[in-house]
Structure 1
Amino acid sequence: MSTVPPLNGSWLLRGRDGSLSAYAPRDEAVWCRAERHPGLPWAPPRRIGGDQRLHAQLALGQGADGYAHLVAWRPTVPGESGLVHSTHFRPHLAALDWVPIGHPDRKGDRTGLPAVAVDAEGRAHVFARNKGGGVGMLAQKERGGWGPWRDIGGPGAHEELAAVTGGSGRVELYATTSDGILRWRQEEPGATLVPDEALEASVRPGTLTALPTSKEHTTLFFADLEGMLHAWRPGTDPVPLLLAAGPGRVSALRCTIDDHDCTLLAQRSASGRAVFAACPTEQESAGLWWSESGPQLPVGTRVALAEDAEGRVVAATLSPDGELRVARQKDEPGLALGAWQSV
């Protein structure tokens, strides 16, 4: 059975020209599949960022400009690794070569799956756990280049982080600990993130998904140790939603369904099919339930969501062996997906 490389952030993105692209770490590299033009057939996979050998981990973020930012670990000397960054400006063009951006402890081996978010000014912010159990942060400068690595605290943070750019254009970061969830935020654009409200809760590590749901709020989705999904907006209590359909993070998308502002969740279920659940945005009390779609999927298959150039919901699945399937929303009431197609 193929293993599933760790991946942080949405791997299905709509680029500046409206074309969709799908990213995956595989064979010591990162590969991209992209529509030749919006809505047209997909081009063959292309290697991203040149010929550097990479570890099988990838973090992705996207700015309001549509540019994709990718961060990965690469081996340096025996027993040590460093982080590298690439920018992909348009899906059908070549990405920039991988650029070394250092290590949260200056040097050492991998410290966990990195995370990346892009602020309203288009600057990437990279996060990775450090050897002290806290979190290191690195940000692009306004005029190019990178600032220094900074320790933003958070002792006891687990390896998988969730970074997001809120509706205000400022970056937020979430991490799980044995006691619950830590949160950091920017007080002003370009600033170093500072600790903010924490949540005491039973949280399953590796299940955090953050989604901007209004200009004021980000909603964090997580599963507790019993498998119940919750939605949390800082300043409120977590709202239980429904049992997670499978392990790991859910994919989340804010979209329009029947002219209503909705939040859509997706996951591979334990039974092996893609499942979807929707509710009015920030109105989780209206209720959610899973609906199955598509064929049986191998263990480890990822599910992702995006909107295409015409505003239709697009769901995609990526199996551990690299098979990509896509389904688009049909022009009829509700969230009706068309036939799943291998691309």
Structure 2
Amino acid sequence: MNGDWLIRGRDGRLSVYLASDGAVLCRAERTPGGPWDAPRTVGGPQKVHAVLAVGHGPDGYGHLASWRSTVKGEAGVVHSTHYRPLLAPLDWVPVGHPDKKGARTGVPAVAVDAQGRAHVFVRSSTGALGMAAQKEKGGWDPWRDLKGEGIVAEPAAVTGESGCVEVYAVGTGGLHYWRQREPGSPPVLEETLDVTVRRGTLRALATSAEHTTLFFTDASGDIHAWRPGDKPVAVLPAAGPGPVAAIRCELDGHDCTLLAQRSASGRVAFAAYPTEQESAGAWWTESGPQLPDDAEVALALDHENRVAAATLSPSTGRLLLTRRKDEPGLALRAWLEV
């Protein structure tokens, strides 16, 4: 899964998404902070591949993207919108292929602009980055070639506080960065950072009115924070092999960035620091039970703007959840299976 698969809907309910056995499943709270429903299939009866990208718009709607087989040996990207956790998502809608047709090329990423339009990114067969964007009045614009070379893994897409979409990807020469210069315009390749990045460790977050921050793990195993136009800053050693989950939240009256990652020990590790002040330092604190190797971690703010953390194992479907206590610091409640 690529993106924030734990999201808060416009009615305050939390929901999670999971790719499983040719389908995408959704689980949601019946009431904000209450019990959870059983898994439901997203997008109708159509079979999709075991990859999933999730984006979340300012309107609270979830946007999902995956691949679906078309003819033998070929596939196309599909998209679904989920308006409320307890309503059925729309059926999968074909978006096409960055090369017009061909086999699946990679895991997509989704970002949603200030107007609620989804932007789907995926590498093409030539290693460039392709993008398709929703039209303002429905349908999809043709795929655009955003250039870039040698893209090797899933991109990380994010919407800045300006409402403009930005995207990062690892390719030839290091990290590539694209951004929209104004709403509705195609993202432009702005910068390439010469750095070696561990595959599959990108996570982007809007951290101020001016900046988004990309978190990645370098070849030495350190997590770095990079805001384009500046140099990357080492935050702390990675707790485990995968990407971090990241969210901005208020801790004891301070605007903080909270990171979470499945650690090498199998538990969830948390670290927080003042937003965009990596020099303040951060350190990991582990929480919860040991998890399967494929367990993923996600963060969100619940209906009371409390931090909620979830872990989900695609192999078992087991969903665990915790929330912040009403106490100073980052004290968490006991992890519960839902």
TM-score range, shorter chain: over 0.9
Which of 121, 141, 144 aligns to 2:138? It is 144
The one-letter amino acid paired with 1:104 is P
Map residues 290-305 of structure 1 onto 2, 5 A cutoff: 290-305=284-299
TM alignment of 1:59-98, pairs within 5 A: 59-98=53-92
- The amino acid across from 1:190 in the alignment is G
Which residue identity lines up with residue 252 of structure 2 in the other structure?
Answer: D
Q: Secondary structure at the match of 1:296?
A: coil
Q: Are 2:52 and 1:52 aligned?
A: no
Query: Any conservation in 2 of the 1:324–1:342 contact (CA below 8 Å)?
Result: yes
- Pick the aligned partner of 1:165 from 128, 140, 159: 159
C-alpha distance in 2 between matches for 1:269 and 1:67 = 31
Q: Spell out the pairing of 1:24-43 with structure 2 (5 A cutoff).
A: 24-43=18-37
CA contact (8 A) 1:268 1:275 kept: yes
Give 1:178 shift: 4.4
Q: Distance in 1 between matches of 2:136 and 2:6?
A: 27
1:295 match: secondary structure? coil
CA distance in 1, matches of 2:73, 2:264: 36
Structure 1 match to 2:110: 116
| CA apart distance, 1:184 | 0.5
* TM-score, length-scaled by structure 2: 0.99
Match of 1:287 in 2: 281
- In 2, the alpha carbon distance for the partners of 1:65 and 1:164 equals 15
Q: What SS is found at the alignment partner of 1:197?
A: strand
User: Hey, which bits of structure 1, 4+ residues long, moved more than 3 A?
Assistant: none
2:202 aligned residue: 208
Aligned-residue identity in percent: 66
1:271 aligns with 2:258: no
> Could you tell me which of 242, 248, 252 is aligned with 2:246?
252
Deviations 1:239-289 (A, max 9, x none): 111110111210000001111100000000011100100000000110000
Mapped to 2, the partners of 1:293 and 1:59 lie a distance apart of: 27
Q: Does 198-207 or 271-280 show the bigger shift?
A: 198-207
Counterpart of 2:327, as a letter, is: E
Partner of 1:337: 332
Q: Is the CA contact (8 Å cut-off) linking 1:111 and 1:159 kept in structure 2?
A: no
Residue in 2 that maps onto 1:324: 319
Secondary structure of 2:191's counterpart equals coil
Q: Give the superposition deviation at 1:104.
A: 0.5
Match of 1:314 in 2: 308
CA contact 1:253–1:265 (8 Å) conserved in 2: yes
Kindly state the Cα deviation for residue 159 of structure 1 after the two structures are TM-superposed. 2.5
Structure 2: any 5+ residue segments left out of the alignment? Answer: none
The answer on whether the counterparts of 1:231 and 1:241 sit within 8 Å (CA) in structure 2 is: yes
* 8 A Cα contact 1:183 1:195, kept in partner: yes
Q: Distance in 1 between matches of 2:300 and 2:277?
A: 21
- The alignment's C-alpha RMSD in Å is 0.7
Return the alpha-carbon distance in structure 1 between the equivalents of residues 121 and 233 of structure 2: 27
**Count of aligned positions:** 337
Whole-Å separation in 2 of the counterparts to 1:184 and 1:235: 12
Q: Which amino acid aligns with 1:137?
A: M
2:190 aligned with 1:196, yes or no?
A: yes
Deviations 1:147-176 (A, max 9, x none): 111111001111311111011110001001
Distance in 2 (CA, whole Å) between partners of 1:175 and 1:12 is: 22
Gaps of 5+ in 1: 1-6
SS in 2 for 1:202: coil
Does the Cα contact within 8 Å between 1:138 and 1:146 map onto a contact in 2? yes
Report the alpha carbon displacement of residue 189 of structure 1 after superposing the two structures with TM: 0.5
